[in-house]
Amino acid sequence: MGKKGGDTRVKRQLAPAFWDIKRKHGQFVMRVKPGPHSKDRSYPLGMVLRDALKITKNARESEIITKAGKVKVDGVVKRDPNLAVGLMDIVELASGQAYRLVPKDSELLVPVAVEDAEKNVKLVKVTSKVTVKGKKTQYGFHDGKTLISDMNLKVGDTCLVQLPEVQVKDHLGFDKGAMALITTGENAGRVGRIDDIRDGIFSLPRRALISFEDRSVELPVDMVMVVGKDKPIIKVN
C-alpha cells in the first residue's frame, strides 16, 4: 500500500540558502509544510527552536516541545514542528520570552528578542484587496491572515495588528517619506526612507527609491515594507 501524506524531510543540500544549518551534518533536515509563508522565505517551527534559538538539541526535542503545546506563534499555540514561520512572526516560549523573525545583516530571517509590550503586536503588509459578499472589503496580509474591514487600505500598506485577534491598531501608508524595512536581498534588514515611488512599466515592476545614511537604492516594492513614519513603530532589527 502506498504511503499517505507528504514527506516531512528534505535533503540538506536542497534546503533554502538562508537556513542556518550545517550542510554536511547528516542527509536530511525538516521540511516546511505548506502554510502562511512561502517555503523559500520561512523556517519550520522546529528548526527555529533548534537551529535559530538553540533551545533544543535535535528535531525530536523540538517535536516534543511543540506537541506539548509549549510554543505559540502570533499568540496561538502551534503543535506542528513543520509549521512555516516567516517575516514578522512572533515565536513565544513557555517561559514567556518571545522572538520576532526579521531580516537582519543581509540574512532573510533572524530571531530578535522582543519586550513583553511588543509580543502581542505585529506588522503585516497588505498583499491583496477584494470585495466579498455584502460589498465588504477583505484584505489579505503577507502572513496569510485576512481581515474584513471598512478601513481604506491599499496594497503595499502596512498595518500594526493586535494578536491573536488581528485587530488593526495603526495604519502605515506606502507613501513618500515613510520609513521602510528591506526584507530580502543584500540590503535585507536595513531601514531607510522612501524618497520616491516609481510606477512599473512593461519590463520593470513598480519600484521604490530608498535612501540610507550612506547611499540610495532602487528596489521592487515587493522587497520593501513600511515600518513607521519617522522611525520604526516597533523593534524590527
DSSP 3-state of 172: strand
pLDDT for position 16: 61
pLDDT for position 35: 85
Q: Structure pTM?
A: 0.88
pLDDT for position 198: 92
pLDDT for position 144: 92
pLDDT for position 1: 46
Distance CA 138, CA 198 (A): 26
Are 7 and 31 within 8 A, CB to CB?
yes
Distance CA 30, CA 7 (A): 9
The C-alpha torsion from 78 through 10 and 99 to 41, rounded to 10°, is -110
Low-confidence ranges of the chain (pLDDT < 70): 1-29
Distance CA 223, CA 208 (A): 9
Distance CA 18, CA 186 (A): 12
Q: Exposed, middle or buried: residue 215 (CB in 10 Å: 0-12, 13-18, 19+)?
A: exposed
- DSSP H or E stretch at residue 42: strand 42-44
DSSP 3-state of 117: helix
pLDDT for 114-124, tens place per residue? Answer: 999 999 999 99
pLDDT for 91-136, tens place per residue? Answer: 999 999 999 999 998 888 999 999 999 999 999 999 999 999 888 9
> Phi and psi dihedrals of 91, rounded to 5?
-105, 120
- DSSP H or E stretch at residue 61: helix 59-67
pLDDT for position 12: 62
Strand partners, 195: none
Q: If you count them, how many residues does the chain have? A: 237
pLDDT for position 201: 84
pLDDT for position 165: 92
